[in-house]
Amino acid sequence: MDQPRHVPVLLDRVLELFAPALQGKPAVVVDTTLGMGGHSDALLGAHPELTLIGLDRDPQAIEMAGKRLAHHGDRVHLVNVTYDHIDEAVADLGYSRVDGVLMDLGVSSLQLDEEERGFAYSKDAPLDMRMSKGTGMTAADVLNTYSHGDLARILSTYGEERFAGKIASAVLREREKEPFTNSGRLVELLYAVVPAASRRTGGHPAKRTFQALRIEVNGELESLRLALPAALGVLGVGGRIVVESYQSLEDRMVKQAFAELAKSKSPLGLPVELPGHGPEIKLLTKGAELASEQEVEDNPRAAPVRLRAAERIGEPR
């Protein structure tokens, strides 16, 4: 049986939100964050006519999910790209519009569990953190080369870390002695710099710094900023998008992208919508939905989730 941490987050709600857009027709869904294929497997199981396009930047996720989804045969197409390439991936497979887009952001249990990839602060491992294995800058490169200002900025913005300046100073001091290679030394430094009193409310002293480094190394916010309009752009009328975010900057971007398209562009005070100026999407969730207490107890990874969903009701303006 799967470990509880491998259970897809808010699975029943995701299936429920997509159902009206997929039922009883040969629909197409893009799972932009395939991971271990949990959500995809359930969607394919629930809709026998569904074709699924699965994207992931991590080649290992593509390989493992490929095995898991193999029994669905030629209904599954997997592409190893970042999700901001969703429009090209869809077009390359011969589709112009799709009926569903799922984005389950962040890292997978697989990535967290693989010690040598350096995502988990609970294990001493090389400071790597690249989701697209082997390409680009590592977390160690960030720590060893960034200026004090840049380090403090990413820690404060991406990690919402109150002690960003103090941590950046300590990193610069330490790297003079010897460059950072492994997570253990960074965790030790964070224990020394983050005041013990703040742990009661802020959790593990390394949590926010590790999140910030991961977001920086993988350009996560830039990728999401580009992906949201691209994902909404490939959605046909009646199609639905569901996004699960795990930190507030991502959730804010999703909220703003949805709000912009849910607004009418007709001049204020007109009794009717001007053609081509009406809302493009309607929101399916009131604010962001959270996981139930029971789900968080069963699957702690669900604790920070914020789910937002929308349906395309008009052509792109």
Ligand X SMILES: C[S@@+](CC[C@H](N)C(=O)[O-])C[C@H]1O[C@@H](n2cnc3c(N)ncnc32)[C@H](O)[C@@H]1O
Per DSSP, helices labelled H in 99-247 are: 109-113, 139-145, 148-159, 164-177, 183-193, 199-202, 207-217, 220-234
**Contacts (CB under 6 A) with ligand X, residues 115-134:** 131
**Contacts (CB under 6 A) with ligand X, residues 186-225:** 223
First to last CA, the chain: 47
CB atoms within 10 A of CB 34: 32
- From the CB of 312, what's the least distance to ligand X, in Å? 22
| Residue least distant from ligand X (Cβ) | 35
Q: Site for ligand X (CB under 6 A): which residue of 15, 52, 55, 212?
A: 55
- From the CB of 228, what's the least distance to ligand X, in Å? 11
Q: Which residues of 288-313 are buried (b: 16+ CB within 10 A; e: fewer)?
A: bbebeeebbeebebbebbbbbbbbbe
How far from the centroid of its chain's Cα atoms is residue 62's Cα?
16
- Annotated binding-site residues for S-adenosyl-L-methionine read 37-39, 56, 83, 104, 111
Q: Site for ligand X (CB under 6 A): which residue of 28, 35, 234, 243?
A: 35
Angle at 264 between CA 262 and CA 265, to 5 degrees: 125
How many helices and strands, by DSSP H and E, does the chain display? 14, 7
For position 104 contacting ligand X by CB under 6 A, the verdict is yes
Stretch that binds ligand X, among 106-114, 147-155, 195-203, 257-265 (CB under 6 A): 106-114
Pick between residue 58 and residue 99 the one whose CB is nearest to ligand X.
Answer: 58
- From the CB of 12, what's the least distance to ligand X, in Å? 13
Q: Site for ligand X (CB under 6 A): which residue of 10, 22, 30, 39?
A: 39
For position 56 contacting ligand X by CB under 6 A, the verdict is yes
Pick between residue 51 and residue 109 the one whose CB is nearest to ligand X.
Answer: 109
Distance between CA 305 and CA 317 in Å, rounded?
Answer: 31
DSSP string, 205-255: TTHHHHHHHHHHHTTHHHHHHHHHHHHHHHEEEEEEEEEEESSHHHHHHHH
For position 33 contacting ligand X by CB under 6 A, the verdict is yes
The answer to whether the beta carbons of residues 142 and 216 sit under 8 Å apart is: yes
CB atoms within 10 A of CB 4: 13
Stretch that binds ligand X, among 36-44, 168-176, 203-211, 274-282 (CB under 6 A): 36-44
For position 171 contacting ligand X by CB under 6 A, the verdict is no
- From the CB of 196, what's the least distance to ligand X, in Å? 31
- From the CB of 78, what's the least distance to ligand X, in Å? 11
* Chain residues that interact with ligand X, rule: CB under 6 A: 8, 33, 35-39, 55-58, 61, 82-83, 104, 106-108, 131, 223
